Amino acid sequence: MQIRLDGCGFQSTLKGNVVNVENDLDKCASVLPRTFNQMSTIQVKLMRKMIHKKPYMFETVRPLQVLKAAQ
């Protein structure tokens, strides 16, 4: 499935197959909202060398999840 900009108003359209998946809303509602410590995110920017101005890759991560994965 692809999301494309369409027309002069640049509205988003979907092209391709779409699959609907059932979801238990009670289960999702019990997970949200997260506490502040779980919700806080930081943006990690990776550079190949420090002399470069722009990162070659960046991602928003939750530090708590990274800590759990490292243990």
pLDDT > 70: percent of the chain: 93
Q: State pLDDT tens for residues 49-71.
A: 889 888 999 888 888 888 889 88
Give the predicted TM-score (pTM) of the model. 0.39
DSSP, res 29 = H
Cα distances (Å, whole numbers) of residue 23 to 27, 39, 49, 52: 8, 22, 44, 44
Tell whether omega for the bond before 63 is within 30 degrees of 0, i.e. cis.
Answer: no
Q: State pLDDT tens for residues 41-51.
A: 888 899 998 89
CA distance 46 to 37: 24
